[in-house]
């Protein structure tokens, strides 16, 4: 089905994260300078996290003035090093103040063959006391992630991550501009590549209209569903670093309620089994009850109602934005009229 999409971009102040590069920070009085130039990157390493590592931290060691004092009397504090971490959305943006999740893993695996989680922190900047050695620093911000390597000695050092990311704000409407029941609309976000089974990797599902999803700067395949039947729109949406993309998906569908009645305007007959067929004769949806309700994509359909051993057929059309009741009448005169229409 053709995708109808309205996209607008705005600057994202607290955006998303993925591709990360490390830059060393000159000696400040309180915290590292977020605008320091980035050093050359090291080679990537293979680790046992759930994704490939991003470009690594530099191993250059630069001291900084920590924001919080360390108690030298705590455990083996005198033999540990201090690591101060900050992240910003783009090269020119300000450091992020919240929404970050930092995880520190040991570089070597434990007896179970897994990386050991050493420490975690949530919010903006983070400080860690670590024994000397090599570690993997996993950074998550929304649905974007990055993994970097750092070597810790007994000194204090600081690092800045530059995160190449943005976000999408989702919206939905009817193609003619009319309103839509947003409670029945959801969005799924997929990557652009396919796996060996020919399926896309789902990044996040069941996103509701008005939600903002933070993502790495890239192009994504978005699937919007209105209802649970066949009103589905697909679109490829690009996320730009440091910006919020406002994407409004335009649907062509309507909410249809079916009724089996003895005469036009009559009471609905209970215990009715329904099948809705496409113009090509394929079953679109089935249900049982007096008032089955579906959101259907625009087009022509046939409603088959079965009750008390009899089957009744009615052809109807779904017009975008025109929610309505469709009556299937059991009277002989109505069935004869339908037969004449079908024969002609």
Per-residue pLDDT tens over the stretch 235-262: 999 999 999 999 999 999 999 999 999 9
**What does the radius of gyration of the chain's CA atoms come to, in whole angstroms?**
29
Write down the pLDDT at residue 272.
Answer: 97
Q: Find the distance separating the first CA and the last CA of the chain, reported in whole Å.
A: 30
- Fold entry, domain 19-163: Immunoglobulin-like (2.60.40)
Write down the pLDDT at residue 6.
Answer: 67
**Identical fold at 5-12+165-251 and 19-163?**
yes
pLDDT for 181-232, tens place per residue?
Answer: 999 999 999 999 999 999 999 999 999 999 999 999 999 999 999 999 999 9
Give CA separation, 210 vs 162, 173, 213, 231, 247, in Å. 27, 12, 10, 19, 10
All structural domains of the chain with their residue ranges: 5-12+165-251, 19-163, 253-343
Helix H, strand E, coil C: the string for 77-99 is: HHHCEEEEEEEECCCCCCECCCC
Confidence of residue 108 (pLDDT cuts 50, 70, 90): confident
In angstroms, the CA 230 to CA 78 distance is 64
- Residue 269's nearest CA partner among 327, 199, 211, 203 is 327
Q: What is the pTM of this model?
A: 0.75
Write down the pLDDT at residue 4.
Answer: 62
- Fold entry, domain 5-12+165-251: Immunoglobulin-like (2.60.40)
253-343, which class in CATH?
mainly beta
Sequence-distant contacts of 133-136: CB under 8 A, at least 24 apart: 133/106, 133/107, 134/107, 135/104, 135/105, 135/106, 135/107, 136/47, 136/49, 136/53, 136/104, 136/105, 136/106, 136/107
In angstroms, the CA 123 to CA 134 distance is 24
């Amino acid at each position: 089905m053709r995708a109808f999409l309205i996209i607008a971009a705005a600057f994202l102040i607290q955006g998303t994260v993925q591709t990360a590069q490390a830059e060393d920070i000159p000696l400040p009085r309180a915290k590292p300078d977020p605008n320091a130039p980035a050093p050359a990157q090291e080679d990537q390493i293979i680790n046992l996290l759930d994704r490939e590592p991003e470009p690594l931290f530099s191993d250059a060691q630069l001291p900084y003035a920590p924001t919080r004092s360390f108690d030298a009397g705590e455990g083996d504090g005198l033999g540990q090093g201090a690591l101060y971490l900050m992240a910003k959305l783009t090269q020119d943006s300000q450091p992020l103040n919240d929404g970050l999740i930092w995880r520190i893993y040991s570089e070597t695996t434990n007896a179970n063959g897994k990386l050991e989680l050493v420490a975690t922190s949530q919010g903006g900047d983070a400080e860690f006391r670590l024994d000397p050695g090599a570690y993997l620093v996993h950074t998550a911000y929304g649905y974007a992630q990055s993994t970097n390597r750092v070597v810790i000695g007994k000194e204090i050092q600081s690092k800045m991550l530059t995160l190449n990311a943005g976000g999408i704000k989702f919206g939905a409407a009817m193609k003619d501009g009319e309103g839509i029941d947003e409670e029945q609309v959801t969005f799924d976000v997929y990557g652009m590549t396919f796996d060996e089974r020919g399926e896309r990797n789902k990044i996040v599902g069941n996103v509701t209209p008005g939600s903002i999803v933070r993502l790495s700067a890239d192009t994504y395949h978005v699937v919007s569903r209105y209802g649970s039947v066949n009103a589905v729109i697909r679109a490829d949406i690009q996320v730009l670093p440091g910006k919020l993309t406002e994407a409004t998906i335009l649907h062509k569908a309507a909410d249809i309620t079916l009724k089996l009645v003895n005469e036009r305007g009559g009471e609905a007959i209970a215990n009715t089994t329904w099948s809705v067929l496409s113009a090509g004769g394929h079953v679109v949806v089935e249900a049982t009850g007096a008032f089955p309700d579906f959101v259907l994509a625009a087009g022509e359909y046939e409603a088959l109602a079965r009750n008390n051993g009899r089957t009744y057929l009615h052809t109807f059309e779904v017009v975008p934005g025109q929610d309505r009741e469709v009556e299937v009448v059991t009277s002989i005169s109505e069935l004869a009229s339908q037969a004449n229409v079908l024969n002609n």
